[in-house]
Structure 1
Amino acid sequence: MAGQQRVYRARIRSTASLEKIFRAMELIASSRISKARAAVASSTPYAQAITRAVSAVATYSDVDHILTTEKENVRRAAILVVTADRGMAGAYSSNALKASEQLRERLTAEGKEVVTYVTGRKGVAFLRFRKRDIAGEWTGFSDAPTYEAADTIGNTLVEAFVKDYEDGGVDEIHVVYTRFVSMVSQQPEIIRLLPLEVVDSIEPPAPDEKLPLYAFEPNSADVLDALLPKYVNSRIFNALLQASASELASRQRAMKSASDNAKELIRMYTRLANQARQAEITQEISEIVGGADALAS
């Protein structure tokens, strides 16, 4: 009985230590999530506006730009997978990796060679464990991304896109990230970054509505050259911010569940320890009474 008590007390101490860690990580995620949500709310309108601007230039001009022109024969596609640097965030990284694997299978079935870029140590570990080639990797900023990191990623992807196929270039680029919907809902999202496609739906004009007329200065080619790098970087930065908010929300929810489970385990082990102690006391009393009866008889 005494041995059982020592086992239960040791489990209570270890579980209490884990509960403190879970609680601390939950509080840290809670303190950062508001800032991450504010960053998403401030960057999303800009990303949508520049997407509309680039789409308008591409639609109402007669310039065939390399970043907006569909290639006739798509032989190689690139996938940028956005994952977390740390664990303890529930199924956040695994959901994004699952969506990337589904996209990879679909592209492979279409006869396209797939090149993978990844952000976050979880994605890097996933691909290295499966002995996959990684064309580019970036780590260390998943929960607090910066525009400089997005600019580095964007320049690498654009450089790969403008290369010829024979030189290792890619014909299209997809991004897999987790879109922040709410504190309880984060959904894996797949977008095609390049060549440019209109992401926002365009409603048909009203019968009395006149279509806008666009004039490009100095010319549409120069406007596209100036806008497209900003478009790529802003879309990647917004995806990183969305993924950061999703990671923090998933970690807060996972740590809250883990903390509640740890408290339940502590209550269970405390009850078992008390039962073992009570059984030990009962046994000792029975031995004393039995000894006294034996002496009396």
Structure 2
Amino acid sequence: MGGQQRVYRQRIRSTQSLKKIFRAMELIAASRIGKARERVSSAGPYARAVTRAVSAVATHAGVDHPLTTERPDAKRVAVLVIGADRGMAGAYTASVLRESERLVGRLAEDGKEAVLYVVGRRAASYFTFRDREMAKTWTGESDAPSRELTAEIAGTLLEAFLTPEANGGVGELHIVYTQFVNMVTQTPQILRMLPLEVVEAAADETHEALPLYDYEPSPEVVLDALLPRYVQSRIRSCLLQAAASELAARQRAMHTATDNAEDLIRTYTRLANQARQSEITQEISEIVSGADALAAS
């Protein structure tokens, strides 16, 4: 019985230590989620403004641009997978990886080769363990992506898209990320980024007349300046959405882990008390039996 008590006490101490870790990670995620949500909201107006400007140029100028031109014969497709740098976030990274595998499978069925670009150590480790080649990886900023990281990713992907396929370029770009809906719901999404499909709403749908535009110095120059900004803003939006989703998933997972640890502590405490009570009962029985034996002799 004494051995059982020691086992239960050790389990209680180890579970209490884990509970402290889970609680600390929950509080850290809770302290960061507010700022992450603010970043998502603040990036929205700029992204909408750039999208409207690109829509206006692409719709009214009638200019063919490499970023808006379909390539039906393209066989290499870039896939940007946005995962997490750390674990303990529930099924956050696993759901993104499942979507990326489905996308890669669909591309393979269409006779296309997926070229992987990966954000986050967890996703990179997944593909490395399976001996999957990755064109480039970015780690260390999954829960707080900087503008420098966004610019580097956008520049790398734009360069790959504008490079001819014969020289190692790609003909399409897809992004797999997690969309932040609210603190409870985060949904994995697949976005085809390039070639761009920019559609301007008709005047009767928006109930307002569409403006006429004059372009200086030319529509081509304006489009050359706007499209990279548009791509960068969309990639940054995906990164910010993924960061907020990761923190929300980690906070929820750590809250559940803390509750489970408390349940385990209560269970082990009850078992330890039962073992102690059984030990006391056994000792009393032995004392009484010994006393009876002495009295009988």
TM-score by length of 2: 0.97
CA 1:169–1:270 in structure 2 vs 1: closer, same or farther (change >3 Å)?
A: same
Q: CA deviation at 1:110?
A: 0.9
Residue 144 of structure 2 corresponds to 144
Q: How does 1:153-172 map to 2 (within 5 A)?
A: 153-172=153-172
Count of residue correspondences? 296
CA distance in 1, matches of 2:206, 2:32: 48
Three-state SS of the structure 2 residue aligned to 1:115 is strand
Query: Which amino acid counterpart does residue 56 of structure 2 have in structure 1?
Result: A
Alignment of 1:253-272 (within 5 A): 253-272=252-271
Root mean square deviation, CA, Å = 1.4
Rounded to whole Å, the distance in 1 between the matches of 2:29 and 2:59 is: 43
Amino acid at match of 2:253: A
1:29-77 CA distances to partner (integer Å, 9 max, x unpaired)?
A: 0000000000000002211221222122112112111011111312111
Distance 1:114 1:143 in 2: 26
SS at match of 2:134: coil
CA distance in 2, matches of 1:207, 1:295: 102
SS in 2 for 1:69: coil
Q: Which residue of 2 aligns with 1:289?
A: 288
SS in 2 for 1:170: coil
In structure 1, C-alpha distance between the alignment counterparts of 2:207 and 2:288, rounded to whole Å: 102
Q: Displacement, 1:136?
A: 0.8
SS in 2 for 1:205: helix
| 1:156 Cα offset (Å) | 0.3
Secondary structure of the residue aligned to 2:181 is strand
The residue correspondences of 1:84-233 to structure 2 (distance < 5 A) are: 84-198=84-198, 202=201, 205=204, 209-233=208-232
CA–CA distance in 1 between the matches of 2:45 and 2:207? 28
Structure-1 residue corresponding to 2:251 = 252
The question of whether the paired residues in 2 share the 8 Å contact of 1:84 and 1:120 is answered with yes
Q: Which amino acid aligns with 1:127?
A: F
Q: Post-superposition shift, 1:212?
A: 2.5
Q: Is the 8 A contact 1:120 1:142 kept in 2?
A: yes
Q: Residues of 1 paired with 2:119 and 2:234: CA distance?
A: 15
Q: 1:42 to 1:208 in 2, by over 3 A?
A: closer
Match of 1:69 in 2: 69
1:209 CA displacement:
5.0
Question: Is the Cα contact below 8 Å between 1:174 and 1:191 reproduced in 2?
Answer: yes
Equivalent pair of 1:205/1:211 in contact (CA under 8 Å): no
Partners in 1 of 2:107 and 2:233 — Cα distance?
25
Distance 1:14 1:174, change over 3 A: same
**Residue type of the alignment partner of 2:88:** M
Contact 2:54 2:198 survives alignment (8 Å): no
Letter in 1 for 2:279: E
Amino acid corresponding to residue 51 of structure 2 in structure 1: T
Deviations 1:80-134 (A, max 9, x none): 0000000000011111111111111111111111100000001100100110010
Given the two structures, how large is their TM-score scaled by the length of structure 1?
Answer: 0.97
For structure 2, list consecutive stretches of 5 or more residues without a partner in the other structure: none
| Residue type at the aligned position of 2:132 | R
Structure 1 stretches of 4+ moved >2 Å: 201-204, 206-212
SS in 2 for 1:36: helix
* Contact map agreement 1:87 1:122 (CA 8 A) in 2: yes
What one-letter code is carried by the residue in structure 2 that aligns with 1:141?
E
Superposition pairs for residues 41-80 of structure 1, below 5 Å?
Answer: 41-80=41-80
Instruction: Supply the distance in 2 between the matched residues of 1:263 and 1:204 (Cα, whole angstroms).
Output: 59
Q: Deviations over 1:141-174 (max 9, x none)?
A: 0111111100000000000001111100000100
Report the counterpart of residue 81 of structure 2 in structure 1: 81
The CA distance in 1 between the partners of 2:46 and 2:110, in whole Å, is 34
